Amino acid sequence: MKYLLLLFVSLMVVTSQSLFAQEQITDEELKKYVVAMDSINDMKASLLEEIGEMVKANEGLTNARYNELSKIMNDEAKLAAAKATPEEIAFMKQVAAKKSEGTAEITQTFQALAKEYVGAASFNKIKKALTTDTELKSKYQSMLDELEKSEVN
């Protein structure tokens, strides 16, 4: 019986070690993940900047009015109550189209980077591990900070 128990414990140790080895994340995998996420973050920031510039360039619409209309854009009754002009509505639709176009481009790039650059299995493994592994999360953040710092220089 002792030998059976020893065999079982040994088998459990070997199994857990092989599972651990399968979940190991290499520095190269993490670096690719960091580069991919940094690229996506840059694309998001760029889109927000473009939309901000569109709003600034529109002399007939203040930021406050834009914010007011953006909250009610899909409600005809509220737009009428807010006395939205046809020009304001047309502009809001133009901004929405830009947002939609940019979001689609970001999504397409994100998927391509995840599948082709990082690798789908690695991407999912890292994404999952980042939710629970504080050491990995810290390493990820350090690598991301270093990459962002090098982009500024």
How much is the pLDDT for 18?
36
Q: Which of 12-16, 24-28, 100-104, 146-150 has the lowest average pLDDT?
A: 12-16
Least confident of 6-10, 32-36, 65-69, 117-121: 6-10
Please state the domain extents for the chain.
Answer: 26-152
Q: Is the pLDDT of residue 1 over 90?
A: no
pLDDT score recorded for residue 45: 97
pLDDT at 60: 87
- In a 3-state reduction of DSSP, which class is residue 84? coil
Question: How large a percentage of the chain has pLDDT more than 70?
Answer: 85
Query: Does 108 have pLDDT greater than 90?
Result: yes
| Arithmetic mean of pLDDT, 91-112 | 97
Instruction: Report which residue type is found at 142.
Output: S
Please tell me the distance from the alpha carbon of residue 139 to that of residue 147, in angstroms, as a whole number: 12
Contact status, residue 122 vs residue 33, Cβ threshold 8 Å: yes
Structure tokens at 132: 């629970």
| pLDDT surpasses 90 at 104 | yes
